[in-house]
Chains A and B, each alone.
Chain A
Amino acid sequence: MPKRHLVAEMAIYRQGFSIPPDDISKVHEFLAAIWDENVHVPSRDQSSIETAIIELTTNIILYSEATSGITCQIVIEIDNENVHAAITDNGDLADLEIDEHIMPDEFAESGRGIPLVRALVDEFSYENRDGENTWKISRKIQA
């Protein structure tokens, strides 16, 4: 008997942002609509992914080297076991080493963004190619 392959059901969401006029609230709106459709994702996982995406988007806005507005695209994939997100932007941060960013001491007023993302997700990668950044995160959905 041939082996049966079970293909997990996957939902994919994709949205582009132009900053300005878009801002961080547009990203929250995009995610809120996704969570409304995916109530099987526990709130802790929703919060973790949302916080990580907002941190990365904030990072893009604050440190972008794009000269004529920031464009970014967020793709979210949700299956029964994981939430994956990929953010691509035109900000050109080629020298960023995410592994070198450690959580600062409690009295620091900045520098927590990248370490917080790492604490929120199971997988985190960053790549710069031809002036375009791609940030990928994924988190296992808690049973």
Chain B
Amino acid sequence: MNIHTKVLGEGVVVLRLEGKLNMVSAPHLREEVHSSVTAGNTHVAIDLSGVDFIDSSGLGALINGLKATRQAGGDLRIAAPTEQVKMVLELTNIDRVLKTYGDAETAFSG
């Protein structure tokens, strides 16, 4: 999985993921979110439009990031999930704590 990072300023960063978010790639996402928080970008928007598959390892990384950003006074938001990702978010009830936004770049500006 590839992760493209785009700092929008004022503590907001967009992480655009491409590929499968599974046991192999989940640790990379975890590290990327922690690096962003350490750099002062505590508002992390994850663009999921390029993620065609997520499993429970990937969900664990999202929840880990959510907690890390909130502990630093920020938040983690997700945008544009594909069908498989939506299905997994719903079946695991994670849609209750991770609201979905249409566009990652505007997830914190609304």
Interface size, A (range) = 20 to 34
Residues of B contacting A: mostly: helix
- B38 interface residue, CB < 8 Å from A? no
- B31 interface residue, CB < 8 Å from A? no
Q: How far is the CA of A44 from the CA of B92 in the complex (A)?
A: 16
Please indicate the chain B residues that have their CB under 8 angstroms from the CB of A116 in the complex: 55-56, 88, 91-92
B56 touches A43 (CB 8 A): no
**Binding-face segment, B10-18, B40-48, B58-66, B72-80:** B58-66
- A100 interface residue, CB < 8 Å from B? no
B23 touches A24 (CB 8 A): yes
A110 touches B96 (CB 8 A): no
- B39 interface residue, CB < 8 Å from A? no
Known: A44-B83, A44-B87. A107 touches B67 (CB 8 A): yes
Residues of A contacting B: mostly: helix
Q: CB within 8 A of A23: which of B24, B55, B88?
A: B24
Q: CB within 8 A of B63: which of A58, A61, A108?
A: A108
**Binding-face segment, A45-53, A82-90, A133-141:** A45-53
A112 touches B87 (CB 8 A): no
A112 touches B56 (CB 8 A): yes
Please indicate the chain B residues that have their CB under 8 angstroms from the CB of A28 in the complex: 20, 53
Known: A43-B83, A47-B83. A112 touches B92 (CB 8 A): yes
Provide the A94-122 mask, 1 if CB < 8 A to any CB of B, else 0.
00000000010011111011011001100
- A54 interface residue, CB < 8 Å from B? yes
Which residues of chain A have a CB within 8 Å of any CB of chain B? Answer: 23-25, 28, 43-44, 47-48, 50-51, 54-55, 58, 61-62, 103, 106-110, 112-113, 115-116, 119-120
